Amino acid sequence: MKHFDFYNFFAVIAVMSMPLIFSILDKMFFKKEEAFLDLLFKNFLSGLIAFMYFVFSFLTIICFSLFWK
């Protein structure tokens, strides 16, 4: 079961980096002159999406630690 630990780590990192990727794409396509964290958390929808992804990644860690022993 050693390979499950690597996949668990990779999945959590990928899920937690999704808001980062979306904010980078938003900055690339809409050419805003704002700071990076302002882009992620300034408008309510981006902050809500980032919060949902962080909660989902936390629940993913809990599920992996409970069921994949």
Tens of pLDDT, residues 2-54: 555 667 777 777 777 777 777 777 766 666 566 666 665 566 666 677 777 77
Torsion, Cα 20 24 25 26, to 10 degrees, reads: 100
Domain holding 16, by residue range, is: 2-67
| pLDDT interval class at 55 (50, 70, 90) | confident
pTM (two decimals):
0.36
Count of domains forming the chain: 1
pLDDT at 57 over 60: yes
The CB-based long-range contact list for 26-35 (8 Å cut-off, 24+ gap) reads none
pLDDT at 15: 73
